[in-house]
């Protein structure tokens, strides 16, 4: 069952790798928000551990005019609240909100770690269940197959600790129907993974969540985790997006034993009516 994220995290302490890390709320990410233009830093739920910084946040993607806005609706505890409904000027199933993520595999420049994006794996967990239960869809958002391009080639903004706001490097052509263009883009993306330690993006939920319905009250959990080559978790952060009044408690399906008991009770009541 889902609980409010602050309760789930208790004192926000998690043990990852060999040292203790703490999830922090309403933080700036390092070095800045490097995707797009006009996107403000701040309101990220972050963890910094083993030289790695991971961040997640919710964002008002479509305001009343249908435009993106630097409004994040953070509740200060790793949860973000947004209205239910189809986004203004958009068609279903586009929600009013999006989620944004940031990976910095070497945020401190510490020589004891000094990871590049190519050195680690990164798992994004997307909760596909709008109720208070969870059902995670997971994939490596750096080294995994991009669904439309059908190759390891994403349009993430990438950079290093000196990259300024909106100044990330993106690969174009990943989804090209021209095989030569697509192959060149895939090769460029692989090179960027060895050259850069920062990757970021802003995604709409219906791009990934099957059957997503923006009009219902819901609670969605998201997590982002980094792992070394041995599969050891080195860092992890997580958030909840609360839509409208939030998800409802899911009623468990009757167990076989309970169903048997109900059946026997029905037989007894039937017999009682017959013989009374």
Q: What is the DSSP string of 192-214?
A: HHHH-SEEEEEE-GGGTSTT--T
Q: What is the DSSP string of 238-256?
A: EEEEEETT-PPPPPPPPPH
pLDDT for residue 155 is more than 60? yes
Q: What pLDDT is attached to residue 79?
A: 98
Higher pLDDT, 15 or 231: 231
SS3 state of residue 51: coil
Confidence grade of residue 253 (pLDDT, cut at 50, 70, 90):
low
pLDDT for residue 262 is more than 90? no
Rounded-to-integer distance, Cα 184 and Cα 104, Å: 25
Among 24, 20, 50, smallest CA distance to 238 is for 24
Are 225 and 236 spatial neighbours (Cβ–Cβ below 8 Å)? Answer: yes
Q: What pLDDT is attached to residue 237?
A: 98
In this prediction, residues 89-103 reach a mean pLDDT of: 98
Rounded-to-integer distance, Cα 115 and Cα 101, Å: 18
Peptide bond into 93 cis (omega under 30): yes
* pLDDT tens for each residue of 20-32: 679 999 999 999 9
pLDDT for residue 99 is more than 60? yes
* pLDDT tens for each residue of 165-186: 999 999 999 999 999 999 999 9
Confidence grade of residue 254 (pLDDT, cut at 50, 70, 90):
low
Rounded-to-integer distance, Cα 72 and Cα 26, Å: 10
Torsion of the alpha carbons at 182, 184, 187 and 191, rounded to the nearest 10: -130
Q: What pLDDT is attached to residue 112?
A: 83
* pLDDT tens for each residue of 28-83: 999 999 999 999 999 999 999 999 999 999 999 999 999 999 999 999 999 999 99
In this prediction, residues 220-245 reach a mean pLDDT of: 98
Specify the range with the lowest mean pLDDT, choosing from 69-73, 145-149, 158-162, 247-251.
247-251
Rounded-to-integer distance, Cα 143 and Cα 121, Å: 7
How do the domains of the chain map onto residue ranges?
5-275
**High-pLDDT (> 90) share of the chain, %:** 80
């Amino acid at each position: 069952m889902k609980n409010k994220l602050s309760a789930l995290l208790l004192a926000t302490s998690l043990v990852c790798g060999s040292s203790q890390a703490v999830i922090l709320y309403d933080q700036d990410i390092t070095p800045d928000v490097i995707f797009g233009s006009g996107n403000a830093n701040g309101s990220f739920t972050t963890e910094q551990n083993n030289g790695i910084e991971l961040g997640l946040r919710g964002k008002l993607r479509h305001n009343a005019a249908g435009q993106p806005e630097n409004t994040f609706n953070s509740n200060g505890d790793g949860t973000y609240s947004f209205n239910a409904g189809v986004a203004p000027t958009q068609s279903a199933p586009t929600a009013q909100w999006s989620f944004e993520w940031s990976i910095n595999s070497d945020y401190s420049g510490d020589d004891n770690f000094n990871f590049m994006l190519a050195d680690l794996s990164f798992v994004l967990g997307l909760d596909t269940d709008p109720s208070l239960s969870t059902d995670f869809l997971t994939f490596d958002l750096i080294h995994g197959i991009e669904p439309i391009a059908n190759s390891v080639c994403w349009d993430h903004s990438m950079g290093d600790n000196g990259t300024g706001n909106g100044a990330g490097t993106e690969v174009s052509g990943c989804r090209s129907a021209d095989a030569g263009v697509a192959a060149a883009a895939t090769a460029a993306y692989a090179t960027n993974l060895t050259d850069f330690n920062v990757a970021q993006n802003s995604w709409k939920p219906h791009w990934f969540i099957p059957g997503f319905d923006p009009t219902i009250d819901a609670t969605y959990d998201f997590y982002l985790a980094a792992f070394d080559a041995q599969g050891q978790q080195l860092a992890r952060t997580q958030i909840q997006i609360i839509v409208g009044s939030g998800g409802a408690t899911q009623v468990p399906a009757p167990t076989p034993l309970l169903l048997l008991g109900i059946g026997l009770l029905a037989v007894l009541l039937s017999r009682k009516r017959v013989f009374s």
